[in-house]
Amino acid sequence: MDDLLNKLPGFRSQLEETDRKLSDPEIMKNMEAYRSLMLERSHVVPVVEELEKLESLITRISENEEMLKEGGELAEMAKEELGLLKTQEEDCRKKCKMLLVPPDPLEGKDIIMEIRAGTGGDEAALFAADLYRMYMYYAETMRWKVREISSNETGLGGYKEIILSISGKDVYGSLRWESGVHRVQRVPETESGGRIHTSAVTVAVLPEPEQTDVVIRQEDLRIDVMRAGGPGGQCVNTTESAVRIIHLPTGLTVICQNQKSQLQNREEAMRVLRSRLFDMETEKKNRERAEERKSQVGSGDRSERIRTYNFPQNRLTDHRINLTLYNLDLVMEGHLEQVIEALKISAGEAALKEAK
């Protein structure tokens, strides 16, 4: 019996039991229990549907193979359909494996994304701006909401740093693997000799926690206000609206000056601080399990070089999963679907191995 299809009876029983509980009038009186059951159902239903689809495909493949053995008029038709069915079966198996991975508790979170220029000076800052636009294009296709929290622009149109809030369906699940070092190889606009330069940009994707997920004591904070610097409106640069928050126990520092009022900047700075503290705690838990876990996609460590963007060859390489594409021009226009899907599949396969 097929390993995947062996799981179908168990998931059918789980769905029947969940539906039975949801039909109990008493459940409606306990909204927390109701939400938990609905969340469980939303995970189980796609699994059952996809496994039933796989079961149907396997049956049809078997029937076509029998017709091929028998020969006759139907054999040629069966042969043509068999190739399509086997392709569908392969795709269905991949999807089943993905759906069988237990949902990550952070999956539904919105994110704070931080993009920072690394080695490479002005060229790194320009590439940070390119990555920012790439993610904005992708967010637009996904109908996510993006809001700039803070930025530090350079005179050439680049960014030393830009911090964004991105919200919408499956934001963290899609972008979580973007954390790390992004390396670019290209001829800078300022390079007169045509030499290829190598620069780097770091990206951090932080799940945005609820306020109850992270406790921040007021006495652990030092809050300074100052006049905003750099490009900005008249009230941004002429009033003390910029806010710097230092979390004394960890030394984490957040500066926010893009909003018009001190209160708005303080709220945004606290959002970023809360996400960084939540991320630190998550990373701590991951390190504690590091000896037991071997993720194929990587740890998400900010110092890990995850990807190379080679412009002369129009090549993108993701080093964690040995993925190489020769459509970098399209990727930079926000067509990240192929990269993100490959990362999700690889992460799912790794999680399935760990679960065994």
Cβ proximity of 101 and 46 under 8 Å: no
Annotation: CATH topology of 213-287:
Double Stranded RNA Binding Domain (3.30.160)
Q: Does the pLDDT of residue 290 top 70, yes or no?
A: no
Question: Which of 115 and 25 is assigned the larger pLDDT?
Answer: 115
Cβ proximity of 275 and 206 under 8 Å: yes
233 pLDDT tier (thresholds 50, 70, 90): very low
Tokens (6 digits) for 273: 């601080």
Lowest mean pLDDT among 87-91, 145-149, 226-230, 312-316: 226-230
Tell me whether strands 159-167 and 180-186 are parallel, antiparallel or unpaired.
unpaired
Where does 144-257 show beta strands of DSSP type E?
A: 145-153, 159-167, 180-186, 197-207, 221-226, 242-247, 252-256
Per-residue pLDDT at 259: 79
Question: Which of 182 and 38 is assigned the larger pLDDT?
Answer: 182
Per-residue pLDDT at 291: 47
The percent of residues above 70 in pLDDT, for the chain, comes to 89
Per-residue pLDDT at 318: 96
pLDDT in tens, 115-146: 999 988 889 999 999 999 999 999 999 999 99
Same fold, 111-211+298-355 and 213-287: no
The 8-class DSSP code of residue 176 comes to G
299 pLDDT tier (thresholds 50, 70, 90): very low
Q: Does the pLDDT of residue 229 top 70, yes or no?
A: no
- Give the Å distances, CA to CA, from 86 to 76, 96, 100: 16, 15, 21
The letter for the amino acid at 185 is: Q
Cβ proximity of 214 and 278 under 8 Å: yes
158 pLDDT tier (thresholds 50, 70, 90): very high
**pLDDT (average), residues 196-210:** 90
Q: Does the pLDDT of residue 237 top 70, yes or no?
A: no
Q: Where are the domains of the chain?
A: 5-100, 111-211+298-355, 213-287
Per-residue pLDDT at 184: 95
- Give the Å distances, CA to CA, from 313 to 99, 309, 316: 36, 9, 9
pLDDT in tens, 340-355: 999 988 887 777 666 5
Buried b (16+ CB within 10 A) or exposed e, 102-127: eeeebeebbbbbbbbbbebebbbbbb
Q: Is 309 exposed, middle or buried (0-12, 13-18, 19+ CB in 10 A)?
A: buried
Per-residue pLDDT at 64: 87
Per-residue pLDDT at 39: 77
The letter for the amino acid at 327 is: N
**pLDDT (average), residues 229-246:** 64
The letter for the amino acid at 235 is: C
Per-residue pLDDT at 75: 80
**pLDDT (average), residues 198-214:** 87
Per-residue pLDDT at 280: 86
Mean model confidence pLDDT for the chain: 85
Q: Does the pLDDT of residue 89 top 50, yes or no?
A: yes
Q: Does the pLDDT of residue 337 top 50, yes or no?
A: yes
What span, in angstroms and rounded, lies between the C-alpha atoms of 155 and 231? 10
User: Which helix (DSSP H) or strand (DSSP E) does residue 288 occupy?
Assistant: helix 262-288
- Give the Å distances, CA to CA, from 69 to 63, 82, 105, 140: 10, 13, 49, 51
Hey, CA dihedral for 319, 323, 326, 331, is it positive or negative?
Answer: negative
The percent of residues above 90 in pLDDT, for the chain, comes to 48
Q: Among 3.40.50.300, 3.30.70.1660, 3.30.70.20, 3.40.50.720, what is the CATH number of 111-211+298-355?
A: 3.30.70.1660
What span, in angstroms and rounded, lies between the C-alpha atoms of 254 and 341? 33
Per-residue pLDDT at 234: 43
- Give the Å distances, CA to CA, from 318 to 83, 181, 182, 196, 295: 31, 11, 9, 20, 15
Tokens (6 digits) for 306: 């995850």
What span, in angstroms and rounded, lies between the C-alpha atoms of 261 and 157? 25
Cβ proximity of 325 and 123 under 8 Å: no
